[in-house]
Amino acid sequence: MRVSVVGAGYVGTSSAAVLAACGHDVTCVEQNDTRLQRWRRGDDPLGEPGLAELLVRSKVNFVPDPRSIALADVVIVAVGTPPDDRGRPDITQVDAAAVEIAEYARDDTLVLVRSTVPVGTCDRLQNGPLRRLRVVSNPEFLREGRALHDAFFPDRIVAGGPPEAQGVFEELYRRIIEGRDLPGGARGERVPVLWMSARSAELAKYAANGFLATKLSFVNEIANLAFTVGADASSVLGSMAFDPRIGPQYLHPGLGWGGSCFPKDTRALEAIADGAGYDFVVLRAAIEQNTRQLTRFAAAIELAVPSRGRVGMLGLAFKAGTADVRASPAIALARRLSSRGLTVTAFDPAVSAIADEPDVQVRPTVVDACDGADAVAIATEWPEFATIDLRALRRVTRGDLLFDGRCLISPSSAVAAGFRYRSLVGFGD
| 23 close to 175: Cβ distance less than 8 angstroms | yes
C-alpha dihedral, 251 to 255 to 257 to 263, nearest 10°: 150
Min. distance of Cβ 104 from ligand NAD in angstroms? 12
Compare residues 93 and 126 and give the one whose CB is closer to ligand NAD. 93
Compare residues 73 and 140 and give the one whose CB is closer to ligand NAD. 140
Q: Coil, helix or strand for 297?
A: helix
Min. distance of Cβ 92 from ligand NAD in angstroms? 9
Min. distance of Cβ 45 from ligand NAD in angstroms? 9
Q: Point out which residues bind ligand NAD (CB under 6 A).
A: 6-12, 29-32, 35, 78-81, 93, 96-97, 100, 115-116, 140, 142, 144, 260-261
Among residues 22, 28, 261, 407, the one annotated as catalytic is 261
- What is the enclosing helix (H) or strand (E) of 131? none
Min. distance of Cβ 67 from ligand NAD in angstroms? 12
Min. distance of Cβ 358 from ligand NAD in angstroms? 23
Compare residues 144 and 270 and give the one whose CB is closer to ligand NAD. 144
Q: Coil, helix or strand for 340?
A: coil
Compare residues 139 and 161 and give the one whose CB is closer to ligand NAD. 139
Compare residues 44 and 368 and give the one whose CB is closer to ligand NAD. 44
- Dihedral pair phi/psi, residue 88, rounded to 5°: -90, 150
373-389 in b/e form (b: 16+ CB < 10 A) is bbbbbbbbbbeebbebe
What are the residues facing 77 on neighbouring strands? 6, 113
Min. distance of Cβ 394 from ligand NAD in angstroms? 36
Q: Is residue 28 flagged as an active site residue?
A: no
| 30 close to 133: Cβ distance less than 8 angstroms | no
The CA distance from 211 to 34, in Å, is 35
Compare residues 48 and 404 and give the one whose CB is closer to ligand NAD. 48
What is the CB-side half-sphere exposure of residue 167 using CA atoms within 13 A?
A: 2
Q: Coil, helix or strand for 415?
A: helix
Beta strands in 275-322 (DSSP E): 310-314
| 217 close to 286: Cβ distance less than 8 angstroms | yes
The CA distance from 399 to 27, in Å, is 53
Min. distance of Cβ 412 from ligand NAD in angstroms? 36
- Dihedral pair phi/psi, residue 287, rounded to 5°: -65, -45
Compare residues 11 and 313 and give the one whose CB is closer to ligand NAD. 11
Residue nearest to ligand NAD (CB): 9
The CA distance from 214 to 219, in Å, is 9
| 122 close to 138: Cβ distance less than 8 angstroms | no
Residues 6+ apart with CB under 8 A from 125: 94, 98, 111, 113, 135
Query: Which residues are catalytically annotated?
Result: 261
